[in-house]
Amino acid sequence: MRALVQRVRHASVEVDGAVVGQTGPGLLVLVCAMQGDSAAQADALAAKIAKLRIFKDEAGKMNRSLLDTGGGALVVSQFTLAADTRSGNRPGFSTAAPPAEGERLYLQFARALAALGPEVQTGRFGADMAVSLLNDGPVTIWLES
């Protein structure tokens, strides 16, 4: 699985003009399931992200995790993280998991993250979504399981 994690002051996702998910201070996590990914990989990636020390401590150093801060997470499916841009000018997405498998793993990831404690809200898999955020730092981390 692939994830792009952004530390945010707030983030929200809209579908057809209606907010379907949002978070205050915490993380916006864009997630893509790749062909061959498993539920175990989704669980491991969720645990890694929950414990990722990218929030400031009292000394201003990135030493605290989402679990330490009590922040929330907005998890949004993002199949375009599978983009293959090695040749030509049009990205290919053939390495992304098929839609049914991608949705299953996306939801598994969101459930696994929520089970660790943070409040987790999601976008809508397969929908045309508008994501808004105020990146904090900015801090943006790429992860791959």
* CA atoms of 72 and 123, how far apart (whole Å): 14
State the catalytic residues: 78-80
Q: From 7, 11, 26, 41, select the one nearest 123 (Cα to Cα).
A: 11
